[in-house]
Amino acid sequence: MQAVRAGQDRSGAWHQTCSVGARLPGQLAGRQYAGRVPRYASVYPLVPARALARIFTYEVPDGVQKGAVVEVRFARSKARGVVVDVNGKAPEGIEVASIERVVEELPPALIDLALWLAEYYGSTPGRTLPLVAPRVRKRRKDSPAPLLREGLAGEPVPERLTDEQRAAVERLTGALGSGGNFLLYGVTGSGKTEVYLQACAAALARGLGAIVLVPEIALTPQAAGRFAARFGDGLAILHSGLTDAERRDERGRIARGEARIVVGARSAIFAPVRDLGLICVDEEQEASYKQESDPRYDARTVAAKRAALERAVAVYGSATPRPESWERLERLDLGGRLVGELPPVRVVDLRREAGYPLSAPLLAELQRVAEQGGKAILLLNRRGIAPALHCRACGTTLRCPNCDVALVLHRDDRLHCHHCGHTAPSPDACPACASPELARIGAGTEKLERELAERVPGLERIRLDADVVDERGAVTDALRHFAATDRAVLLGTQMVAKGHHFADVALAAVVDADSQLSLPDFRAEERTFQLLTQLAGRSGRDAPGRVIVQTFQPDARAVAYAARHDVAGFLAGELERRRDLGYPPFRHLVRVVVAGPDPDAPLTALREVAAGLEGADLLGPAPLLRLRGRHRAQLIAKTDEPRRVASRAGRLLAAGAPAMRRAGLTAVVDVDPQSL
């Protein structure tokens, strides 16, 4: 048994020490005792306890570098740790333990990346280092083949690139090795993916690796599939559907250099690719690049930081770029579509047209598809039958007992809360006044599906929303089926607007453009514009298509510019508005949210934080919707120094932590929040 204790030297660094030399595994131990000068490394233990969230000194054998993931004896058990520095000095007067073994070796830049991330997002290295050194459990027996390696013949390389594509590829490859940030701008079908593919091939040819980020692989298997078809076994795919064993295998292939190109969602930005030359971020406007739990990082920001650390090129591609990227990045413009024209957009004014969710013009187009054949895509960003039940007698809307939101009626004749999952049978009478006159307000995807069955029976219906995608493979099945059929309508929430490529989409329609617009968020217009434009891009790729947008606000900027396919015009106006209001990209936002069981306590706590942030440009504190029984409030700071404001807010909250704990309050500091 070894007696283990921890000590702190004069510099404040902590040291794991023990009274007898640790046993080393054979190979490392041999080198260790060959009479060399001992080397000391700073090791950050990957243990959750905040009290241990500091650097410890261990003795390491030669050859262990910054970036090594090591196993160490810690207190009475073993723990994993990450070597963050190997130039440590021996602490005076205490004997330093040796590491047990090296588990994995990461590119050293990933350590700097994780430490930067902890500082920028107000998190801790204990939480950010596991992003680059995730614990992968031992192999289990039942390891199915990785997804997406089947559905893929060799993908043809186009005979020649367009002038715009060639210019973009040349600019990107010219920057390989020195770095740079670029926006690849082009409508859906303008050949962006081909540019990523060729830039990746150029990186490979120079012995450099590449990471391609896509929003969500399960929803858009086609994008990853094209990379797999082009690069075969030289590609690794990381996505949430992998089992632990699959993930371990893919990481191993990346670490050993067998796979030099990695395609994956958000967390693939931390893949242990060596000699990284290129990062492509596809559909860069997608909100899913932001992680909504601690550490609340944004993979797009992390991509820029990793590119800067490794002198890699970062290219962000989109048909509807974020104002942030439009303003800041060098633009590589791909011009128009390679195949087909952008479809004409008809805006249907719901103040004049009855029949919602199927107005007469929309119905006529659907009937035309039913008669002539082809595919239709219908977007309605709400699930269920009716988004609300409303009493005609007393005006009560049925709400979730835990959340301040209306309950949604579903096909099972129950009311569902889309936030906390609460369900209850749909009542026959108003719980407030007992009137039986309960009106169903609005329409959700289930209602739309019913109406379509009644009114356009000749068209097969394929629904895609969170209610049908619970099972692994459900999305792929639905999309495959839709791709194969020649007379069907794909209807669903915003999932139907994302990166799918289908031939013969004769009609794309937004049933309700207002649902997003009315959200209290300065990005509501941007999101609406992106959604409308993305959906319009699904239509008319091969044959002439049509687009219909139903709205109560036909004059809203997002609707009007989307109807004209005027991305530059929309972004110019959006940037002007944001400059006036001091929103990103001109200033950063830091958001503090406090939640608790008591209605007033969150606001009170935030008022104290606001007082402590004196001098900052603050919005609020203001109450938010109650969710899952917790009352919430938020404070937003506009600032040019997000790190400083976030760490000050963090310190203020930490100082009040005991009182907050007693009151059952929790707090979150979100740097560069993506939704308010």
Interface with ligand ADP (CB under 6 A) = 158, 161-162, 165, 186, 188-194, 338-339
- The residues, any chain, with a CB within 8 Å of residue 68's CB and separated by 6 or more, are 41, 60, 82, 83, 102, 104, 105, 106
- Stretch of 276-284, 415-423, 497-505, 560-568 contacting Zn ion, by CB under 5 A: 415-423
- At 668, phi and psi to the nearest 5? -135, 130
| Length of the chain measured in residues | 676
Which residue has 């091969």 as its token pair? 542
Residue 391 as a binder of Zn ion (CB under 5 A): the answer is: yes
Selected from 271, 417, 506, 547, the binder of Zn ion by CB under 5 A is: 417
* Alpha carbon distance 402, 219 (integer Å): 31
Residues in contact with Zn ion, total (CB under 5 A)? Answer: 15
Angle of CA points 125, 127, 132, to nearest 5°: 80
In the complex, minimum distance from the CB of residue 278 to ligand ADP, in angstroms, rounded to a whole number:
16
Token pair of 578, please?
A: 């944001």
Is the CB of 338 or the CB of 663 nearer to ligand ADP? Answer: 338
Give the pair of three-digit tokens for residue 332.
Answer: 């590589």
Determine, following the binding rule CB under 5 A, whether residue 399 of this chain makes contact with Zn ion: no
Q: Is 398 in the site for Zn ion (CB under 5 A)?
A: no
Q: Given the complex with ligand ADP, which of 190 and 494 has the nearer CB atom?
A: 190
Nearest distance, CB of residue 423 and Zn ion, angstroms: 10
The residue within the footprint of Zn ion, chosen from 65, 396, 604, 647 (CB under 5 A), is 396
Cα 333 from Cα 168, distance rounded (Å): 8
Q: How far apart are CA 356 and CA 537, in angstroms?
A: 24
Q: Which does 417 bind (CB under 5 to 8 A by kind): Zn ion, ligand ADP, none?
A: Zn ion
Nearest distance in Å: CB 332, ligand ADP? 12
Quick check: 424 binds Zn ion (CB under 5 A)?
A: no
Helices (H), 53-162: 108-120, 125-132
Of 20 and 394, nearer to Zn ion (C-beta) is 394
- Residue 420's binding partner out of Zn ion, ligand ADP, none, with CB under 5 to 8 Å set by partner kind: Zn ion
By a kind-dependent CB cut-off of 5 to 8 A, residue 165 interacts, out of ligand ADP, Zn ion, none, with ligand ADP
Question: By C-beta, is 543 or 654 nearer to ligand ADP?
Answer: 543
Helices (H) and strands (E) in the chain, counts: 19, 29
Smaller CB distance to ligand ADP: residue 196 or 297? Answer: 196
Pick what 433 binds: Zn ion, ligand ADP, none; C-beta below 5 to 8 Å, kind-dependent: Zn ion
User: Is residue 433 a contact point for Zn ion (CB under 5 A)?
Assistant: yes
Q: Which is nearer to ligand ADP, 191 or 602 (CB)?
A: 191
Q: In whole angstroms, what is the distance from residue 508 CA to residue 536 CA?
A: 6
- Least Å distance, CB 496 to ligand ADP, is 16
Contacts of 311 (CB under 8 A, 6+ apart): 177, 178, 179
The entry of ligand ADP, Zn ion, none near residue 288 (CB within 5 to 8 angstroms by kind) is: none
Q: Round to whole Å and give the CA distance between 529 and 501.
A: 20
* DSSP symbol at 12: S
Contacts within 8 Å (CB) and 24+ apart, 435-439: 435/391, 435/392, 435/393, 435/394, 437/391, 437/392, 437/393, 438/389, 438/390, 438/391, 438/392, 438/398, 439/389, 439/390, 439/391, 439/392
Place of tokens 């997003």: 516
Contacts of 67 (CB under 8 A, 6+ apart): 82, 83, 105, 106, 107, 108, 110, 111
Q: CB under 5 to 8 A by kind: which of ligand ADP, Zn ion, none does 90 bind? A: none
Q: Virtual CA dihedral for 98, 100, 105, 109, nearest 10 degrees?
A: -40
Nearer to Zn ion, 118 or 409 (CB): 409
Among 124, 143, 291, 402, binds Zn ion (CB under 5 A): 402
Least distance in Å: CB of 500 to ligand ADP?
11
Cβ nearer to ligand ADP, comparing 191 with 621: 191
Which of Zn ion, ligand ADP, none binds 391 (CB below 5-8 Å, type-dependent)? Zn ion
We find the least distance from the C-beta atom of residue 326 to ligand ADP, in angstroms, to be 17
The alpha helices in 84-215, defined as continuous H runs, are 108-120, 125-132, 163-175, 192-205
Nearer to ligand ADP, 223 or 362 (CB): 223
Binds 320: which of Zn ion, ligand ADP, none (CB < 5-8 Å by kind) = none
Binding partner of 162, given Zn ion, ligand ADP, none, CB within 5-8 angstroms per partner class: ligand ADP
Is the CB of residue 22 less than 8 Å from the CB of residue 2?
A: yes
Which is nearer to ligand ADP, 193 or 639 (by Cβ)?
193
- Nearer to ligand ADP among residue 188 and residue 515 (C-beta): 188
State the alpha helices, DSSP H only, in 409-501: 445-455, 474-484
Q: How far is the CB of 282 from ligand ADP (least distance, A)?
A: 8
Whichever of 270 and 529 has its CB closer to ligand ADP, that residue is 529
Q: Shortest Cβ distance from residue 168 to ligand ADP (Å)?
A: 11
Q: Which does 251 bind (CB under 5 to 8 A by kind): Zn ion, ligand ADP, none?
A: none
Query: Which of Zn ion, ligand ADP, none binds 512 (CB below 5-8 Å, type-dependent)?
Result: none
Whole-angstrom distance, CA of residue 591 vs CA of residue 637: 6
Smallest distance, ligand ADP to C-beta of residue 334, A: 7
Q: Which residue has the tokens 């999305």?
A: 475
Report how far residue 473's alpha carbon sits from residue 219's, in angstroms, rounded to the nearest whole number.
10
Q: How far is the CB of 541 from ligand ADP (least distance, A)?
A: 8
Q: Which of 658, 656, 668, 589 is nearest to 630 (CA)?
A: 668
Residue 188, binding choice from Zn ion, ligand ADP, none, Cβ under 5 to 8 Å by partner class: ligand ADP
Closest distance to Zn ion from the beta carbon of 632 (Å): 13
Residue 394 interacts, among Zn ion, ligand ADP, none and using kind-specific CB cut-offs from 5 to 8 Å, with Zn ion
Nearest residue (CB) to ligand ADP, 122 versus 191: 191
Instruction: Output the furthest CA–CA distance in the chain (Å, rounded).
Output: 90
397 binds Zn ion (CB under 5 A): no
Residue ranges that bind Zn ion, judged by CB under 5 A: 391, 393-394, 396, 400, 402-403, 417, 419-420, 422, 430, 432-433, 435
